[in-house]
């Protein structure tokens, strides 16, 4: 198995150039130039305008949750995008000491104290639609779910959440442009995958699932989790190592051994049966999330 080191991503990218594995898009780094406002949520992220004109939701290394949630956001967000799920574009945001020093609102509440956000490299996820062009909602009532154009992706994101042992509820936003009638779900907040800063896998049937269970009503068998389930089970190790190798070391205290162990666990967990077993446990849970599942003896022989 490949060893992870500071130069591993460069080595892997060269190997990918001569392989049949689809290349991973290289992570971009942008510079924060303006603070817009503080966002809601436990990580106390900030909305910032960046050098490329984009609006980025920026999570800082000294957030109240854990430094590693930045690594989790980048790793899981990019893996989800690689297998074809709708997630915000991930970037690295460089925040200057000058901007922090001259922006009083760039702070976090930590241990009952207000402290300045750290400068340096932070995690950014691009705002899914500009406030000038559309609307973003944290929640849609169940009677509007039939107006979500990619509702089937909740099943695909469930695969990701079970694979990465998301310890939180699945979070999503719903957005539409002014000219559109339908909404698009975008899956956000991957920070509590791998049990947040612990980097452990504590699997539970009801972890990593969306609160409004109706989003899974369209699931009628294993085919409903495709193509995402097969893509994850067959994902090449080069892809995971490449993405992990681009995570800034300061997001996990330069502990290469811990990162390598995390990647190795992901590689083991993509194997036959484990993800399907966790989904099956959710199916049998008290939530009864898949009311339209069609029993099929051959289909259920997945071990």
Contact indicator for 162, 210 with CB cutoff of 8 Å: no
Is the alpha carbon torsion for 71, 234, 274, 283 positive or negative? positive
Calculate the CA 13 to chain-centre distance. Answer: 22
Supply 31's token pair: 């510079």
Q: Binning pLDDT at 50, 70 and 90, where does residue 12 land?
A: very low
- Rounded average pLDDT over 88-107: 98
Mean of the per-residue pLDDT values of the chain: 92
Write out pLDDT tens, residues 216-266.
999 999 999 999 999 999 999 999 999 999 999 999 999 999 999 999 999
245 three-class SS: helix
What CA–CA distance (Å, rounded) separates 187 from 169? Answer: 11
CB 73 within 8 A of CB 45: no
The domain segmentation of the chain, as residue ranges, is 8-283
Say whether 234 sits in a helix, a strand or coil: coil
Q: With contact defined as beta carbons under 8 Å apart, do 39 and 47 qualify?
A: yes
184, β-bridge pairs: 175
Confidence of residue 213 (pLDDT cuts 50, 70, 90): very high
Tokens for 21? 């594995």
Rounded to whole angstroms, how far apart are CA atoms 188 and 292? 27
Of 256, 278, 261, nearest to 199 by C-alpha is 261
Enter the pTM of the model.
Answer: 0.92
């Amino acid at each position: 198995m490949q060893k992870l080191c500071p130069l591993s991503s460069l080595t892997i990218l060269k190997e990918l150039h001569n392989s049949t594995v689809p290349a991973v898009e290289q992570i971009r780094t942008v510079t924060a130039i303006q603070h817009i406002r503080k966002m809601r949520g436990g990580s106390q992220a900030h909305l910032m305008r960046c050098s490329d004109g984009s609006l980025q939701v920026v999570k800082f290394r000294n957030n109240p949750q854990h430094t590693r949630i930045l690594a989790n956001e980048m790793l899981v967000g990019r893996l989800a995008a690689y297998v074809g799920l709708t997630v915000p574009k991930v970037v690295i945001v460089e925040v200057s000491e000058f901007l922090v020093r001259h922006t009083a609102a760039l702070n976090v509440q930590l241990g009952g104290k207000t402290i300045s956000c750290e400068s340096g490299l932070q995690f950014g996820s691009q705002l899914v639609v500009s406030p000038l062009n559309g609307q973003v909602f944290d929640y849609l009532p169940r009677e509007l779910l039939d107006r979500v154009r990619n509702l089937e992706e909740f099943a695909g994101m469930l695969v990701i959440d079970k694979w990465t042992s998301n310890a939180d509820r699945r979070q999503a936003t719903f957005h539409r442009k002014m000219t559109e009638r339908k909404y698009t779900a975008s899956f956000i907040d991957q920070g509590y995958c791998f049990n947040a800063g612990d980097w452990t896998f504590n699997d539970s049937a009801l972890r990593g699932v969306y609160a409004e269970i109706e989003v899974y009503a369209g699931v009628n068998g294993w085919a409903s989790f495709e193509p995402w389930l097969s893509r994850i089970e067959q994902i090449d190790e080069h892809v995971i190592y490449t993405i992990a190798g681009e995570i800034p070391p300061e997001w996990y205290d330069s502990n290469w051994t811990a990162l390598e162990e995390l990647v190795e666990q992901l590689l083991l967990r993509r194997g036959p049966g484990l993800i399907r077993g966790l989904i099956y446990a959710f199916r049998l849970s008290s939530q009864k999330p898949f009311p339209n599942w069609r029993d099929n003896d051959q289909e259920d022989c997945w071990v």
